[in-house]
Amino acid sequence: MADKATAGAAGAFDLPFAEQIGFFRRKLNLPTEAWDDIRKAAHDRAFVVAGAMKADLLQDLREAVAKAIAAGTTLETFRKDFRQIVAKHGWTGWTGEGSKAGEAWRTKVIYETNLRTSYAAGRWAQLTDADMVKNRPFWRYVHNDSVLHPRPLHKRWGDMRLTLPHDHLFWQTHFPPNGWGCRCRVTAVTGPKDGDATEPPAGWRAIDPKTGAPMGIDKGWAYAPGANAATPLADLVGQKLLNLDAPIGAAMWEQLAPALAMERRLAWYDTVDAWRASGPVGARRHHVVGALQPSVLDWLRTERQIEPASAEIAVQDNLVLGPKERRHQERSRDGLTDAEWRRLPELLDAPEQVLFHERTGHLLFVLPAGEDAAQKIAVEFDYRIGKKTDARELNMIVSAYRQAMRDIDGEVKGGVWVPVE
């Protein structure tokens, strides 16, 4: 297996390898305004360049980075590509624009961050290979001594020859790179030798209040690149590794929707199949299937002084499998078909109407039900429902059914539902 870290600082990226290239290819383009719009492990599935909001601009930047990774091109070559892309798309307002020093800094950050994290992710894939784990189950932290201004803690971990089992919790937050420009690495060994430290130094979990990360780790770098490469980006969103606090989360979800559409759909298909195969279980399971639009959150806040704790819309397995759904299915006129359940995330992204219930405070999304304009799918949810295992409450769907449009209109005219949009 290739280990291009041994090539030295100058040629650190001259020898691309399959795992590194594969990791980068699996990323989805994600428009973002700021570098910390996504957090930690979400970088395993998302390619971002802060401020690059247009899809074609982001794709061209991605291709330039992909060329740098696959062909081992130099930073100067990437800078030429960057200038051409900026001119082609008329991109202005990017951080660093306006000076040679600013451009040099920005291009170096984009180039080195992507190459170092993709390298680290490729190494993670190599190091966690079953044969590698069997033959070399320990990992050693290696500090790059060629760094002009080494971070004291990084140097300490290298000097003490910190050698830990591959599944030690330390690696979940301290697998390098551990910050901007960090050149540390990990190597697999059969076991610790005399003089190797076999426990992390005391206080390694302590959080630096300035960064929100363990001491010695830069803000946003307390994760193991590649460890979540196989996790759908939709799952990372659901785990709140992105900034999904309402109302920021609602706006972020709108940006995510195009990139996530296929992954969300496939992940939901798999979830429905798994729920139906296993049947009801003791502990209720839930799946994030959408999010409230920013305009809906604005209306709730200004018109009803309601501020949901999050933007996510989730559904529990008991709704899909439970007695309420069986009753709907038995009364075939208002039960959702399996195909309609599977289309739920797609439908929630574009509701025809959003209504508010004056008595219960529930929201109702009115969705299309095929070609029959007289019939609609009504999805009702409550923003006050959550699970005890969640850090916060979710907008949980409480009912989903078919309803005649005339009946919905009648309830609106009767004041039962108030139009939100």
- In terms of Cβ atoms closer than 10 Å to its own Cβ (0-12, 13-18, 19+), residue 258 is middle
Q: Which of 196, 231, 266 is the last residue of a domain?
A: 231
Q: Which of 231, 252, 286 is the last residue of a domain?
A: 231
Tell me which range, 47-56, 98-107, 344-353, is most confidently predicted by mean pLDDT: 98-107
> Mean pLDDT over residues 206-215, rounded?
94
Rounded Cα distance, 323 and 287, in Å? 19
The pLDDT, as a whole number, for residue 4 is 37
Q: Which of 201-205, 256-260, 381-385, 411-415 has the lowest mean pLDDT?
A: 256-260
What angle do helix axes 55-71 and 75-89 make, rounded to 10 degrees?
160
Hey, what are 247's tokens?
A: 């109302």
Give the model confidence (pLDDT) of 317-346 as tens digits.
888 875 555 555 555 457 788 888 888 988
The pLDDT, as a whole number, for residue 87 is 96
Residues 197 and 346 occupy one common structural domain: no
| H-helix segments, 11-169 | 18-25, 55-71, 75-89, 100-127, 130-135, 152-159
Task: Flag whether pLDDT at 354 surpasses 50.
Answer: yes
Residues 273 and 413 occupy one common structural domain: yes
Task: Flag whether pLDDT at 388 surpasses 60.
Answer: no
Task: Flag whether pLDDT at 285 surpasses 50.
Answer: yes
Residues 151 and 271 occupy one common structural domain: no
The pLDDT, as a whole number, for residue 10 is 33
The pLDDT, as a whole number, for residue 277 is 86
Give the model confidence (pLDDT) of 72-126 as tens digits.
889 999 999 999 999 999 999 999 999 999 999 999 999 999 999 999 999 999 9
Of 278, 257, 262, 300, the closest CA to residue 420 belongs to 300
pLDDT more than 90, % of the chain: 51
Q: Which of 181, 212, 231 is the last residue of a domain?
A: 231
Provide the residue range defining the domain that includes 285: 234-419
Give the model confidence (pLDDT) of 373-386 as tens digits.
899 999 998 877 65
Rounded Cα distance, 41 and 23, in Å? 13
Residues 210 and 238 occupy one common structural domain: no
Q: What one-letter code names the amino acid at 54?
A: K
Task: Flag whether pLDDT at 353 surpasses 80.
Answer: yes
Beta bridge partners of 117: none
Q: What number of CA atoms fall less than 13 Å from residue 257's CA on the CB side?
A: 18
Residues 37 and 152 occupy one common structural domain: yes
Residues 203 and 287 occupy one common structural domain: no
* DSSP assignment of 314-355: EEEHHHHHSHHHHHHHHSTTTPPPHHHHHTHHHHHTS-SEEE
Residues 220 and 270 occupy one common structural domain: no
Q: Domain count of the chain?
A: 2
Task: Flag whether pLDDT at 392 surpasses 60.
Answer: no
256's CB contacts (< 8 A; 6+ apart) are 30, 237, 242
Task: Flag whether pLDDT at 7 surpasses 60.
Answer: no
> Mean pLDDT over residues 348-356, rounded?
93
Between 234 and 207, the higher pLDDT residue: 207
Residues 356 and 391 occupy one common structural domain: yes
What is residue 283's DSSP assignment? S
Between 321 and 315, the higher pLDDT residue: 315
Residues 292 and 171 occupy one common structural domain: no
The pLDDT, as a whole number, for residue 92 is 94
Task: Flag whether pLDDT at 180 surpasses 50.
Answer: yes
The pLDDT, as a whole number, for residue 283 is 67
Residues 225 and 256 occupy one common structural domain: no
Cα 86 to Cα 30, 72, 205, 384: the distances in Å are 18, 22, 41, 45
The pLDDT, as a whole number, for residue 241 is 54
The pLDDT, as a whole number, for residue 5 is 35
Residues 94 and 162 occupy one common structural domain: yes
DSSP three-state, residue 214: strand
The pLDDT, as a whole number, for residue 240 is 57
Q: Which of 44-58, 97-111, 232-246, 336-350 has the lowest mean pLDDT?
A: 232-246
Residues 188 and 41 occupy one common structural domain: yes
The pLDDT, as a whole number, for residue 2 is 40
Tell me which range, 7-16, 51-60, 325-334, is most confidently predicted by mean pLDDT: 51-60
Tell me which range, 4-18, 114-128, 261-275, 322-336, is most confidently predicted by mean pLDDT: 114-128
The pLDDT, as a whole number, for residue 8 is 34
